[in-house]
Amino acid sequence: MIGTRLDGVDAPRLIKSKHGWWFIGNQTWTLLKPGAVHSDGTVREDIDSFLRASGAYMPRTPESFALTVLTTTACNLGCGYCFQNTALDPAGGHQPPRIDRQRLDTDTIDRIIRFTADRMMRVGLKSLSLMLFGGEPLLNRRGCLELLDGARTIGMQTATMTTNGLLLTPDIAKSLNAAGLDRVQVTFDGSRQDHDKIRVKQSGGATFNTIVRNLARATEVTDFRWEIRVNVSHHNFDRIDELFEQLKGQVDATRCTVAFAWVGDAGFGYENSLRHVDHVSARFASWNVAALEAGFQVMRPTMKTTCQICSVPGGTHGAVVNADGALYSCWQSAGKRGFDVGTIDLGYMDVSQIRDRWVTCGYEYERTSPAVAAEFQDLVDGQVLDHLYAAGRL
């Protein structure tokens, strides 16, 4: 039997569909008839040749340098599951101990820009993709604006900020947009009822209405695109469907892309008892469909890829920089003691020195085997693609 099996770290995916098979390649979503895939999971030779000729197997190569900078490690929320916590609040409240407090200043920004320009030159990349991160980045608004200004001088093409949204007033949103910020990610922990028990101020105060109001007002005065992340755990699983009704009429769904994410166990005791089983995958798929029917966009399934920042030790095509100028391999390890892998002044340490510190995305959440997690994601993505196909959107 002749054909191609889709193995490898960076490779297309085959997902079972009720119509046949979905082939997900480089920016391609192709529905293959059942006979196009052999019983051993290999793609028929003639189909394989056609897909290769159309570029579906082409690897995704970095087009810009990916820079993530923590403008501050401080936060105005007290979410118990945050991976930047070092333990649960011993008093049972909403003030968990966290990573060391750092704040980005003008001198460090200048050094970050010089470091980044040098790294870009080494690999021949002329454009920059910037992520403003924290803590809560807007606790250092000045640092955000200065960093955006500096990044524009070395080829910034796009800039995203991950924020909890509590401080994103119309005036602040306008100033950030004018400085080059074009995408903003905010997070909801399910419906209002559950969100306001989970994503809370350090005083325990609710945040849902403030976030929605700020998102709506910022939409009116900017051209921001919004990435809405919905965290999923056993605490909010039963009522996530309600979120879209609560957002309806409050935000411009056509400018929002929704993604659903597991709340992971970061290793200090906050556990998510959900498991990768069929009825959970069906709910994930149904939430994506509900978001689409409410007018939102959802993340399209992608081929197997690796992160351009953390997949290769040494930060060839990207970097994560803490507010004090220390380098880290991944946004999830940034600011954690013992995980630094260099500085913006001296560069990265030798690979032999940082092998145990160089972690990749999701490193602290690996409580489920990769095979089980991959099968779960295939079940979700297959149902979402089938819905898009039936709706004429693929």
Domain boundary assignment for the chain = 3-60, 106-305+362-379
Tell me the H-state helices in 137-234: 141-152, 170-178, 192-198, 208-221
Strand order in the sheet with 28-32: 13-17, 20-25, 28-32
Note the pLDDT of residue 368: 67
Distance CA 123, CA 120 (A): 6
Strand order in the sheet with 65-70: 297-298, 256-262, 225-232, 183-188, 156-162, 128-133, 65-70, 318-321, 326-328, 342-343, 347-348
Note the pLDDT of residue 6: 67
Distance CA 69, CA 78 (A): 21
Instruction: Tell me the CATH class for 106-305+362-379.
Output: alpha beta
Q: What is the pLDDT of residues 240-260, one digit of tens each?
A: 999 999 998 999 999 999 999
Note the pLDDT of residue 9: 62
51's enclosing H/E stretch is helix 45-53
User: At 64, is the secondary structure helix, strand, or coil?
Assistant: coil
Mean pLDDT, residues 229-242: 95
Note the pLDDT of residue 91: 94
Measured between alpha carbons, how far is residue 232 from residues 3, 241, 272 in Å? Answer: 39, 12, 9
Q: Give Cβ neighbours of residue 188 (< 8 Å, ≥ 6 apart).
A: 195, 199, 208, 211, 228, 229, 230, 231, 243
Q: What is the pLDDT of residues 108-156, one digit of tens each?
A: 999 999 999 999 999 999 999 999 999 999 999 999 999 999 999 999 9
Note the pLDDT of residue 163: 98
Q: Which residues of 173-192 are buried (b: 16+ CB within 10 A; e: fewer)?
A: bebbbebbbebbbbbbbbbb
152-156, 270-274, 347-351, 368-372: least confident range: 368-372
Percentage of the chain surpassing pLDDT 70? 96
DSSP state of 225: E
DSSP state of 193: H
Note the pLDDT of residue 267: 82
Q: What is the pLDDT of residues 24-63, one digit of tens each?
A: 998 889 999 999 999 888 899 999 999 999 989 888 889 9
User: At 170, is the secondary structure helix, strand, or coil?
Assistant: helix
The neighbour count for residue 276, using CB atoms within 10 Å, is: 17
In this model, does residue 85 exceed pLDDT 90? yes
